[in-house]
Structures are given as structure tokens and as C-alpha cells.
A and B are shown apart, each in its own frame.
Chain A
Amino acid sequence: MDYALIWAILIAVSVFAYVALDGFDLGMGILFPWIKEETYRDRMVNSVAPVWDGNETWLVLGGGGLLAVFPLAYSVLMPALYMPVIAMLLGLIFRGVAFEFRFKSKANKHWWDRAFMLGSMVAAFSQGVMLGAMLQGIEVTDRAYSGGWFDWLSPFTIFAGLSVCVGYALLGASWLVMKTDGPLQQRAYEYGRNSGILLIMAIAAASVYLVSSFENVAERWLTWPGSAALWLVPFVLAIVGGGLLTSLTKQQEGRPYLWALGVFLIAFVGFGASIFPYLIPFEISIWEAAAPDNSLAFLLVGAVILLPIIFAYTGYTYWVFRGKVSEDSGYHE
């Protein structure tokens, strides 16, 4: 059995689960600059308060899982992405504690609001930078990172960072559409449309840049069978983007979030296909990076048994807290 391939798929699934779940709750903080009313902000934070912990656990699984099954990729990526990783962690600290702290102190609430906002933005931006840096390539010599301190920094990675912020704002707005009503919901529809249009443009621009600037990527998409798939991409993006914008315009509450996930999925599959089977593009493949088979098999047993259970009780939590978050939240007695 090709354990490395199975694990590459499982890691991809957990990264996507992370983006799908933590994306919208990071999106709350990214939308804060446009939503200043205190009661609205309380509703936004309350809408994710019972689930953010679980959402962020997917990121721990991403880090821990990478160490477990692709230790070589982990030990090259972390030094290479040192600064964005540290920035992300610090951002997550600020926003994570702000959930609790902003209700603990009236006098300092506006400071914790800022911490929540900036922390969410820094975390999202750093994740985009990491994605961009991975796509543009990382220098490796003898099983170790051999590039410089600022290799991760380029116009493309900054663009990727901003795009992820826009994408999470879209997920956040689509979440708010489901969880709120009234004027806040109306504004969420509007922010969803704006960020949706921006995101689709950003994905298109990034794709053109990757194909035009990187020979290896270009080779895949400009020769058969990649070339056939390449022609499909604009159509698929148009259909999903159209679906997203229509659902936002027609105000179909439950749909925009799913369409938004669709947009993310296309980008995710597209970028994945651009570099597969490499984890560190065109240096280290999943098979080279993989831990010995018995490590992969040992953890796979657990993952196969436990991931469905985790999905089940995570789903249960979302079901318990289903429905709208109301205006008169009960915490201000």
C-alpha cells in the first residue's frame, strides 16, 4: 500500500478542514474594521465562541501530522518559513485569548477587540505567505533548508497573504449570513459579494502568474493532460464564482458558505495539482519526505478509526449551536 500517498491525501483533507473551519472564524476578526458596532461584534464573536477551539485543532493536526508522517518536509519548511510561522503563532495567541478576555474587562475591551482583529489578520496573512512561499519554491541542500532569512518574502507571497485574508473575509461573511439576521446580515451579504469578487480575481491572477513564471508548473498545465484541465479551470471558476455571487445577491442564507468552500476547493486542487507529488516543490516529493512505513501505518490506524468519530462529534457541536445568534446576547447582565 502506498502509505505516503494516503497520508498526503489525509494531510490535504485536514488542511482543507482547517481552512473551511478556522477560515470563517479568522474571518470574524478580518471583518472587524468594517463592523464597528459593539453589539454586532459581540454577536460575531459569540457565533464562533463554542467552536473556535476545535477549529484551531486542525492546525495542530496539520503541524503534528506533518512532523509525524513527513518529518523531512516539516524540518525543511519550518526553518524556511520561520518568520511567517512565528508571526502566525503570535497572531493566534492574541486572537485566541481575546475571545475570553474581551468579556472579562469592560475598560480594556477595545484593546482586546484590536488584538482579536490584528491577531486574526496576521494569522491569515501569514498563512497566505506560507502558501505563496511553498508555491514559489524553497532551497534545499542535504535534507536541510539552505536558503536565506527572507526568502519567503516576495511580491507574490505578499499577494498570496492578502488573498488569503480576502478569502477568509468571504468565509466569515458567508458564515455571518447563516448565523445572523437583520442589518448585520444585510451587510454580511455585501461584504461577501465584495470579497468574493476580489478573491476570484486574485485566484485568476495567481494562476496566470504561476503558469507564466515557473517552468515546472507551466510544463504541467501546457502539456497533455494538464492542458485539457487548464481549459476547464476558467469555466469551473466561472460556474462556482457565479453560483457564489448569485447566492449572495439572491440572499440564499445557507448557500454562500458552500459556494465559497467551492472556490477554495478549486484553488486548493489547482495549486495541489501544480506541485504534486512534491511537498517542497520540485525538491522533495511525498515519498522522499515520508516517515518509514511502520510510522505511517501506525498513525493511519488511528486516523482511520478516529477521524470519522471526530467528524461526528464536531458535527454534533455545530448542530447543538445551530441557528441564529441573537441580538440580545445574554452575557451583559
Chain B
Amino acid sequence: MFETWFSQADAILLARFQFAFTIAFHIIFPAFTIGLASYLAVLEGLFLKTRNPVYQKLYRYWLKIFAVAFGMGVVSGIVMSYQFGTNWSVFSDKAGPVIGPLMGYEVLTAFFLEAGFLGVMLFGMNKVGERLHYFATLMVAVGTAISAFWILSVNSWMQTPAGFAMNEQGQYVVTSWMEAIFNPSFPYRLAHMLLAAYLTTAFVVGAVGAWHLLKDKSSQAARKMFSMAMWMALIVAPLQVFVGDLHGLNTQEHQPAKVAAMEGHFKSEAQAPLYLFGWPNEEEAKVDYAIKIPGLASFILKHDVNATVTGLDAFPRDEWPPVPIVFWSFRIMVGIGLLMVFIGLWSGYLRLRKQLYDRPLLHRAAVLMGPLGFVAVIAGWVVTEVGRQPWVIHGLLRTSDAASPIDAVGVGSSLVAFIVVYFLVFGAGTVYMLRKMAGNPESTHIPNYARVPMAAERLYHEEG
């Protein structure tokens, strides 16, 4: 009965929207916890080395925020591991033999490691002592990075599949695991995402530090975290521009249609212009209201002003990704990246002049930059995922052929349920994290780490 109201096309569109929604929400938490876990490992290491209590304070301060973010990452991640099957069963059946084992390795090498040692990290200090506790922190940090390794390998295989053949059931079968795991786009995507996670976290830490500096510029804890974050901005943001460029060149080689959409290049041409802004008009195959710099795209993509850059005209119309979404998401990502570089340079200049803690304008800017890393991460994922369309596995399996035999009503109602629950639950979680971040780091409670009898030592979030 319902089938007559909605077509299969609606079901696929809703399933795509559901995946986009749940994964965009999910990626926010890992992007933050990958960075924060490493930051916590650095803080605890520095404390053990220097015994400077400010590091201990910062560790306890960020640990509580980490706990909330990690919990939300876990539960939104469980959804992802079942989402492949509920809405994309054809994809699961065909690609399962390739991506399944990689995700299996993610669970075995990363998820258990993180979850296993998280308990010790959060609640175990006075049970295991400093050294083992530091070990637990390191294991959690390593776990988050290993997790990124596997899941980015999976995603990269979907972008640039390698090392496979097809069996008689129509499934993809791996012929070389090395080639499949280290497929052509994987190293670039992994480096780009890890740096993005570190940068995103650095800008959150920087924003919180700046916020507290604006209230009290003598705060040692606020100074320390702001200073550490600005070092990251100065060093990692330019590095990210470099890695991002390499990633773009790699995409140009393997997925030229995606790059053409990113750049708004409808026709293949020599001395291709770089469109700064404009509105890609797919019907007329041109960029409206364009502000462009002639030849610059050829220079960036081919390192030669006169080189010919492949445009969308080189591909059949039904193999184009949705151009405006890719074009604009790319500009949002790059724009935020350049802002980060600017903040890094500005802070470096003020640090040289010994004014890092004395310029409220920089601090205000840093506060505003706080959430932008997440925006850039999501925009970047939109570029690469929407840019891969109409394929779910590039060049092999179309998204429209990959979905489950579920009708639109089913997918639509679960989508509504996810939207309501996510906004409610993760909205509350965000409020709690912001509340923690608003708390003064100087007054972070340091529990008594002496070994005490069981009764007094259940330190579950000691300040309640």
C-alpha cells in the first residue's frame, strides 16, 4: 500500500539522508576525541615529567569533557555499524568481504583497546597508580588513532578501490590485502583526517583558553592551554594546507570528476581559472556570478599555468556529482583552513612580541574559531562523499543500486526517530560539555591520589 505513495527513489534519497545525518553527527565526536585523547596523553606525560601542577589541573579538566564526548562517540558509532545493513544491504552483501574484515580489525585493535582502558583512565587513578594510569591514557589515545587508520582505509577503498576481483555471487573479493588496505587515496585521507582532528581539538582548547583569558588573563591554566593550542595552530594548520593539497592532487589523479565539481570546472580547458566564488549552474554547465582568477586552477592542480584541466564535460552527465554542494562545501572547508593558518600566524607574531596573553582581539577571534573545526571537518567529508556520487564504490557500484529493500516509509520514520533522538541526546551532551568548558580551569578539583580504602575512593566525577 505504502509503495504507491512513495517511489523507490524516495527511499534511496531518505536512506542517503539518514546515512549523511547519522555519520555527520557521529564524526563530530571522534574528530574531537582523537585529538583530545592525544592532548590528554601529552598533558599527563608533561605532568609526570615536570610535576607542574598546572598540567594535572588541565588533565582533570579536559578528562571530564573527554568522558562525555567519548560516550556520545561510542553510542553514535554503534548506530553506524548496523546502518550498513539496515539501509544498504546490497552494498553490505557485495562489499562485506572487503570492508567487513577491515572494520573487524578496527573493533579488535581499536575499540576494545579504547573501551577497555577508558574505565581505568576515568576512574582508576587511585587503584593502579600513576604509571599504569598513564599507560591507560596512552592506550586510549593509541586506540583512537588505530580506529582512524582502519575506518579511513575502508572509506578510501570505497573512493579508490584496489586489490580486488569479483566472484560469481557478485561480491568483491580481495586479491591483495596490502593493496586493498593501502589503496591509492588512503595515506592522504588518513593524514588529512588525523591532522583535521588535531586541529579541530586544538581550536576548541584554544577557544576555551581564550575565553578564560578574557575573564582573567593571569590564569596559569588558561595561559597554558591557550599557548599550547596556538602552537598547534601555527605548526599544524600550514601543514594541513600542504597535506590537503597533496590529497587534492591524488583525487585529481583518481577521481577527476570530484575535483572538477570542487573547482566548478564544467569544461576541460587550458589555463583553467580558479573560481573563488560563484554559483555552479548544472543546467547550463557554467558558473554564474563567478569571481575567478584565470590560470590559477591549472597552476594549483598541474603546477603549470598552461596545463589543461579535466572538466565535467569529460564525463557522461549521469556520472556527475551534485556540483553546487561539492563546490560550496569545498570553499567552506578551505576558507576555515585559511582562517586557522591566519590565527596561527597572528598568535606566532604576538608570541614573538610577548603579547600572546595581552591581546583581547586575538582571544575573541580564538573563541569564535572554537566550533569552526567541526564545520570544516563536516564540510570536508561532504566534499569527498558527495563528490564520489553517483557511486557508493567509485566506478563500481552506484548508490542507487546499493540500498536495502526497505520502503520509503520505513526509512523515513527511522530517520525522523534518529533526528529527534540525536538532537535531544547530543544537544544535552553538548550543553553539558559547554558547561564544563565554562568552568574555571584554575579551580579544577584534584582528587587525593593517595591510596585510600575502597569506601572513600569511588571517584565518579567527584564534583557531581
A residues bordering B, Cβ < 8 Å? 46, 49-51, 53-54, 56-57, 59-61, 63-69, 71-72, 74-79, 82-83, 85-86, 89-90, 92-94, 96-97, 99-101, 103-106, 108, 143-146, 149, 291-292, 294-295, 298-299, 302-303, 306-307, 310, 313-314, 316-317, 320-321, 323-333
Contacts and interface: CB of A to CB of B under 8 A. Distances in A.
B284 interface: no
Contact of B92 (A46, A67, A92): A67
Contacts of A331: 458-464
Interface in B410-461: 410, 414, 417-418, 421, 425, 428-429, 432, 435, 445, 447, 454-461
The 5 A-B residue pairs with the shortest CB-CB distance, nearest first, are A71-B96, A78-B85, A68-B100, A50-B119, A75-B89
Nearest to B122: A50
Given A93-B79, A313-B116, A323 B454 contact: yes
A320 B127 contact: yes
Given A320-B124, A324-B454, A330-B460, A67 B96 contact: yes
Contact of A79 (B177, B406, B445): B406
Contacts, number: 271
Contact of A328 (B94, B123, B447, B456): B456
Interface of A, secondary structure class, is helix
Nearest to B2: A149
Contact of A330 (B75, B94, B98, B458): B458
A101 B454 CA distance: 24
A49 B177 CA distance: 38
A267 to B, nearest CB: 24
A327 B455 CA distance: 8
Contacts of A298: 101, 174, 177
Given A46-B458, A78-B404, A90-B421, A302 B105 contact: yes
A106 B432 CA distance: 12
B81 interface: yes
Interface in B195-242: none
Nearest to A143: B93
Interface in B84-125: 84-86, 89-90, 92-101, 103-109, 111-120, 122-124
Contacts of A69: 100-101, 104
A77 B458 CA distance: 42
A92 B425 CA distance: 11
B460 A60 contact: no
B86 A86 contact: yes
Interface string B63-88: 00001101110111111011011100
B111 A326 contact: no
B23 interface: no
B114 to A, nearest CB: 8
A169 to B, nearest CB: 22
Given A63-B82, A298-B101, A310-B116, A56 B464 contact: no
Contacts of A67: 81, 84-85, 92, 96, 99-100, 103-104
B129 to A, nearest CB: 11
B154 to A, nearest CB: 11
Given A67-B92, A67-B104, A331-B464, 12 more contacts: A67-B81, A67-B96, A68-B100, A75-B93, A78-B82, A79-B404, A79-B406, A100-B429, A302-B108, A317-B117, A325-B458, A331-B459
B339 interface: no
